[in-house]
Amino acid sequence: QESIENKAPFFNQPLKDFLSTSEGELISCLVREFLEYFHLDFTLSVFDQETYHQKEYHYMGREKLCRNLKINKTDVNGPVLADVLQLASREDFSKPNG
Amino acid sequence: QESIENKAPFFNQPLKDFLSTSEGELISCLVREFLEYFHLDFTLSVFDQETYHQKEYHYMGREKLCRNLKINKTDVNGPVLADVLQLASREDFSKPNG
């Protein structure tokens, strides 16, 4: 009988592969920043477990995340994902700006 | 005696305000799609509770999410957030493309 640990109930190879890329790490950090920004503390504690935080990737904090994304985040309004979505909208969406 | 539900132990006004905007709803759906894409089921169940899913907003599914974002998602590789990040990168980041 194999142990439950060896069965790795939370083993998630697609996620691990994703996290091993710089894009994957950034996206996980963006999601994590969203959870942190809105104080979704219960979600966050499960998220950290399920995404192997501090094992497969490290959340670098909001400021460094913005620097990595080259987002000029001088204000503190909203999660960083809102800025990313706005940038993406300018590129390909047909929304008027302002 | 008020019921626990009326006490709203997870009451999160900043999040509720955010979810009342179309941008906020989109971002929450993007985060939710990420969790779903990687089968982060434990996170998802807590996330749904903590973000008032089905109360303050409704996840419209991956396909409709892509349509709303005007993302042409014919392949099924990766979470939609990866496409959003790539679009944002083209707009403002200094990465070469390809």
| Long-range CB contacts for residues B5-12, cutoff 8 Å, separation at least 24 | B10/B49, B10/B50, B12/A38, B12/A39, B12/A40, B12/B50
Task: Please say whether the beta carbons of A27 and B82 come within 8 A.
Answer: yes
Angle at B14 between CA B58 and CA A45, to 5 degrees: 75
What confidence score (pLDDT) does residue B30 get?
97
Domain that holds residue A15: 4-92
- Residue A88 in any domain: the answer is yes
Residue A67 lies in a domain: yes
* Chain B residue nearest residue A26, CA to CA: B85
Neighbouring CB atoms inside 10 A of A27's CB total 24
Domain CATH for B66? 1.20.960.40
What is residue A71's predicted lDDT score, i.e. its pLDDT? 86
Q: Is B15 within a domain? A: yes
Residues in chain B with CB shorter than 8 Å from the CB of A51 are 38, 40, 43
Dist CA B48 CA B54 (whole Å):
8
Contact A70, A87 (CB under 8 A): no
**What is the rounded CA–CA span in Å between residue B64 and residue B59?**
9
With a cut of 50, which residues of chain B have pLDDT below it? Answer: 1-2, 4-7, 93-98
Domain assignment present for A97: no
Residue A93 at interface with chain B, using a CB cutoff of 8 Å: yes
- Inside any domain, residue B75: yes
Q: For an interface test with A, give the residue of B57, B85, B94, B97 to mutate (most A CBs within 10 A).
A: B85
A2 min Cα distance to partner chain B (Å):
24
- pLDDT per residue, tens digit, chain A (98 aa), is 444 444 455 589 999 999 999 999 999 999 999 999 999 999 999 999 999 999 999 999 999 999 999 887 666 689 999 999 998 887 644 444 43
Q: Which residues pair with A53 in a beta bridge?
A: A57
* A88 with B85: Cβ contact below 8 A: yes
Cα–Cα distance for residue pair B38/A67, rounded to 1 Å: 26
* pLDDT, tens digit, 9 for 90 and up, residues A46-73: 999 999 999 999 999 999 999 999 887 6
| Residue B77 CA neighbour count, 13 Å, CB half | 4
ipTM confidence score:
0.84
Q: Does A88 touch chain B if contact means CB atoms closer than 8 Å?
A: yes
Q: Under an 8 A CB cutoff, do B85 and A30 touch?
A: yes
Could you tell me if residue A14 is inside a domain? Answer: yes
Residue A98 lies in a domain: no
Q: Is A84 on the interface with B (CB under 8 A)?
A: yes
Total domains in chain A come to 1
Contacts of A27 in chain B (CB under 8 A): 34, 79, 81-82, 85
At B77 the pLDDT is 81
Q: What is the pLDDT of residue A74?
A: 60
Give the per-residue pLDDT at B4.
46
- In angstroms, the separation between the Cα of residue A95 and the nearest Cα of chain B is 10
**B66 close contact with A: CB closer than 8 A:** no
Residue B98 lies in a domain: no
